[in-house]
Structure 1
């Protein structure tokens, strides 16, 4: 299991409703490969479209995060084929 702190941005277009603690989108760290992760909110009850902020994300398998997974790594996340947001790894916990 891998837990990170990340800065994310939820795009204004795409998702129409906010998400709350425990949201489980699919993440892209490796092109053409998605992995599930759980977002835990740090300083808010919900994360609304258009907002940016720090969150913690838990992944079950480091193998799907790529061989270059490290601080500064950028990623996309979403629920289908179109990304709903993007982020950057700030800390590996």
Structure 2
């Protein structure tokens, strides 16, 4: 398992409802691979469309995050073909 702190932004246009801790979207660190991760909110109870903030994200397997995964890595996340938001790794907490 790997845990990170990341700054994320939830787009206003793609998702209309907020999410809570435990949300499990698909993350895309590389163009050809998506992986599931679980978001834990650090600042709020809900994360609303248009909002930006720091969250903790847990992933089960590092190999699905790409060979160049590190602090500063950028990613998108969502549930289908179109991303709901984007983010950047700020800190690797547990590796």
- Report the TM range for the smaller structure's normalisation: over 0.9
For normalisation by structure 2, the TM-score amounts to: 0.97
For normalisation by structure 1, the TM-score amounts to: 0.99
**Following the alignment from structure 2 to structure 1, what is the Cα–Cα distance between the partners of residues 30 and 80?**
16
Q: Which runs of 5+ in 1 are unaligned?
A: none
Aligned residues: 93
Shift of 1:53: 0.2
Q: How does 1:7-46 map to 2 (within 5 A)?
A: 7-46=7-46
**Following the alignment from structure 1 to structure 2, what is the Cα–Cα distance between the partners of residues 5 and 52?**
13
Question: For residues 6-62 of structure 1, what are the alpha-carbon distances to aligned partners after superposition, in whole Å with 9 as ceiling and x for unaligned?
Answer: 000000011110000000000001112100000000011000000000000000000
**Following the alignment from structure 2 to structure 1, what is the Cα–Cα distance between the partners of residues 26 and 64?**
11
Aligned CA RMSD, in angstroms, stands at 0.4
Secondary structure of residue in 1 paired with 2:28: strand
Q: How does 1:52-71 map to 2 (within 5 A)?
A: 52-71=52-71
Q: Which runs of 5+ in 2 are unaligned?
A: none
Secondary structure of residue in 2 paired with 1:16: coil
